[in-house]
A = this chain, B = another copy of it.
Amino acid sequence: MTLCKMADNREQAPAAAPVTVKQPVNPAVNPLENMMGYLKADMASVNAFILDKMQSDIPLIPELAGHLIAAGGKRIRPMLTLASAALFGYSGNRQNRLAACVEFIHTATLLHDDVVDESDQRRGKASANAVFGNEAAVLVGDFLFSRSFQLMVEDGSLDVLRILSNASAVIAEGEVLQLSTANNLDTTRDDYFHVIRSKTAELFAAACEVGAVVAGRSSLECAAIRDYGINLGIAFQISDDVLDYAASADVLGKSLGDDFKEGKLTLPVIIALEKATAEEKIFWQRTLMSLEQTDEDLHHAVEIMRRHEAFKLSLDVARGYAAKGIANLLSLPANHVRGDLEALIAFAVERQY
């Protein structure tokens, strides 16, 4: 099967979104829980793959990988592979192994990301690098990454190997680009979208596309579900970047203001910078560029962003991507899975955690 080339959404900023989210979203209901109703057996199989395939004769490997994996996380990426396969009516079980591959790649990037960010918290507990050291976190990330490719080889599809090796390369590129945007107040919206499209949306897209590939669907359908994944990933990441400032720390399950502490240039900050007074510019230079921060600064940063409506405007952009994602689904089977995928992209924006 010939699969589609990656569509480039960067040039299509959704200023005037042609499609709007139809159903009102109740932020208290996570559509993933709905999907778990009919994907429960699949997800149990994915979890069994994850637990089985992270084993090694070297005890530190399952110990460290287990630390992160046991902490939970949303499992949204493997769920996308399962949901995509279900959307297309696939009745086999290849999606379970491949969803585990997707989660392994995600886990490997989290391990390396925490080393890069020098994070000490992940998923509401101490990060793996903080507990086991940076060295072990780097190497166990490498192991999980390799293990993911071993699992894909067991599955035997060169299309899947292509999709996920491409995604891995793009993720690494996005992470490197993010290094150069950190602490850089000249970071543009384009830079930001390049980063989040690469480091987040690409794996969402690949996870979706793999479901269509195992179901043997046409290149047009593969492209449509892939584009949905891109738009979902972008919407999800914008929301994440807003929540890092605006969420309640208890609900979020991770410490608030991490991006601020690291001087990351996320969309709400970029919007606030676009509207900054001379005095505010000096504030952002001191806190994000020079990383000279006092205890009061995070609170003050949030105040400035609220004054400029940076959260609302960021979420409006995310809503535009959500609308595009829902439009991507229009040509695909109009079943209950599609309804849940529509709800999921709306939830990705409106969620409180």
Interface residues of A (CB under 8 A from B): 56-58, 60-61, 108-109, 112, 115-116, 133-136, 138-140, 142-143, 145-147, 149-150, 152-153, 156, 158, 161-162, 165-166, 168-169, 171-173, 175-177, 179-180
Tell me whether A172 and B140 are in contact in the complex, defined as CB-CB below 8 angstroms, given that A58-B177, A180-B60 are known contacts: yes
User: Contacts A161-B153, A168-B149, A173-B57; is A116 near B135 (CB within 8 Å)?
Assistant: yes
Query: Which residue from B61, B149, B156, B179 sits with its C-beta under 8 Å from A176?
Result: B61
Chain B residues within an 8 Å CB radius of A153: 158, 161-162, 165
> Which single residue of chain B is at the shortest CB-CB distance from A173?
B58
Task: Indicate if the CB atoms of B179 and A135 lie closer than 8 Å.
Answer: yes
A177 to B112, CA, bound (A): 19
The secondary structure that dominates the A interface is helix
Which 3 A-B pairs have CB atoms at the shortest separation, nearest pair first? A146-B168, A143-B172, A146-B169
23 A-B contacts (beta carbon < 8 Å)? A56-B173, A57-B173, A58-B173, A60-B179, A108-B142, A112-B139, A115-B134, A115-B138, A116-B135, A116-B138, A139-B179, A142-B172, A143-B169, A146-B165, A146-B168, A146-B169, A147-B169, A149-B149, A150-B166, A152-B165, A153-B161, A153-B162, A161-B161
Instruction: Tell me, in angstroms, the Cα distance from A257 to B108 when the chains sit together.
Output: 32
CA gap between A175 and B168 in the complex, in Å: 22
CA distance A168 to B147 in the complex (A): 8
A307 CB to closest chain B CB, in angstroms? 33
B-side contacts of A140, CB under 8 Å:
172, 176
